[in-house]
Amino acid sequence: AVGLSDGMIHVHWTSTCQAAVLLSHGEPVRILRFGNLTKVLVSAGLRSIKLWDVSTGLELLELKTKSNPLAVDFDEDDKRLVAATRSNEMFEWSTDDGSIVSHYSWHHSLPSDFRQIISRVSSIVAISMGHNLMAIGYRSMPLCLWDLEARRLLGFCTKESDRSEEH
């Protein structure tokens, strides 16, 4: 699938590269993610997330967000959809009816010695529901690893300095 700035999503068959279906998100498409088991696709723009049935081209759900999504992922059986937003919030919805399963802000749970992060906007986020992990990147800061199930900080990843540069 290819999402475009005009809001169109072109879905192609993997075996033949032929066009399968054309979808209209309605705003520039920033994120696309296929389901794990079912024939669903999630698309995210600046203020909305849509769930599609790619076999029929039907829009199944539209979820509105106040802040633009940075990452989305499905759980293992595509029953839940999670999204991390630029406002440092995590949303979890049921894919059956779009109801909110949970909503929280991750940066308020950081230890007091990392409070300088709270005022920062995350630059990039990656989510793995299968591993219950979220990686959060902040400009000029170490990569933050977050436990999605426990909703707590696991730690920070830093680059080791090159010993040859020190000599």
Percent of the chain with pLDDT over 70: 89
Cα–Cα distance measured from residue 62 to residue 31, given in angstroms and rounded to the nearest whole number: 14
Cα–Cα distance measured from residue 3 to residue 54, given in angstroms and rounded to the nearest whole number: 14
For residue 108, the 8-state DSSP code is G
For residue 38, the model assigns a pLDDT of 87
Q: Decide: 31 and 71 in contact? Cβ < 8 Å.
A: yes
pLDDT, one tens digit per residue, over 51-97 is 999 999 999 999 999 999 999 999 999 999 999 999 889 999 999 99
Name the band, by pLDDT with cuts 50, 70 and 90, for residue 115. low
Greater confidence (99 vs 110) lies with: 99
Residue type, 44: A
* Mean pLDDT value across residues 17-22: 92
* Cβ neighbour number for residue 30 with a 10 Å cutoff: 16
Cα–Cα distance measured from residue 35 to residue 76, given in angstroms and rounded to the nearest whole number: 9
pLDDT, one tens digit per residue, over 124-157 is 999 999 999 999 988 878 888 999 999 888 988 8
For residue 144, the model assigns a pLDDT of 87
pTM confidence score? 0.86
Name the band, by pLDDT with cuts 50, 70 and 90, for residue 167. very low
- Which helix H or strand E contains 74, and what residues bound it? strand 69-74
* Cβ neighbour number for residue 100 with a 10 Å cutoff: 10
